Amino acid sequence: MIEVYIDGASAGDPGPSGAGIFIRGHGQGEHYSFPLGHMSNHEAEYCALLKALEICLSKKYKTVSFRTDSQLIERAVEKRFAKNDTYSPFLEKALEHIDQFDLFFIKWIPSKQNNVADELAKKGIQLNRK
């Protein structure tokens, strides 16, 4: 099973934002940092989820287990519902992707267990400035 650690970060809320993704599986680790432009921290979390789903689908991973330190993301995906209408388009797109996997799991983890994705997200913020 592929393990995917995701994190979104913003320097300000809203502010310059980045997404960090760490994928562990098949005996190797993949690291991704993406600049996201100017958005809120919650939007950055959703963008990290979407980018990670797109990567996994492009690599034809069929069974994935996502880890996030965002309870907002974990709850929205589990309930397939976003309380805030601002996030509904993000969630709808994510669910379209999720439904393409044979098995998909998402689990909330404490921030200290998500430090690799967090560092990658911070690097994504820096990439906005280049």
Per-residue pLDDT of the chain (130 residues), as tens digits, is 999 999 999 999 899 999 999 999 878 899 999 999 999 999 999 999 999 999 999 999 999 999 999 999 999 999 999 999 999 999 999 999 999 999 999 999 999 999 999 999 999 999 998 6
Report d(CA 121, CA 19) in Å as an integer: 4
Of 103, 82, 93, 129, nearest to 3 by C-alpha is 103
Cross-strand pairs, 31: 22
Report d(CA 90, CA 76) in Å as an integer: 10
Query: pTM here?
Result: 0.96
- Which CA distances in Å does 102 have to 46, 60, 113, 130? 21, 11, 26, 38
Of 66, 64, 93, 65, nearest to 80 by C-alpha is 93
Cβ–Cβ < 8 Å for 59, 76: no
Domains of the chain: 2-127 (3.30.420.10)
Is 39 strand, coil or helix?
strand
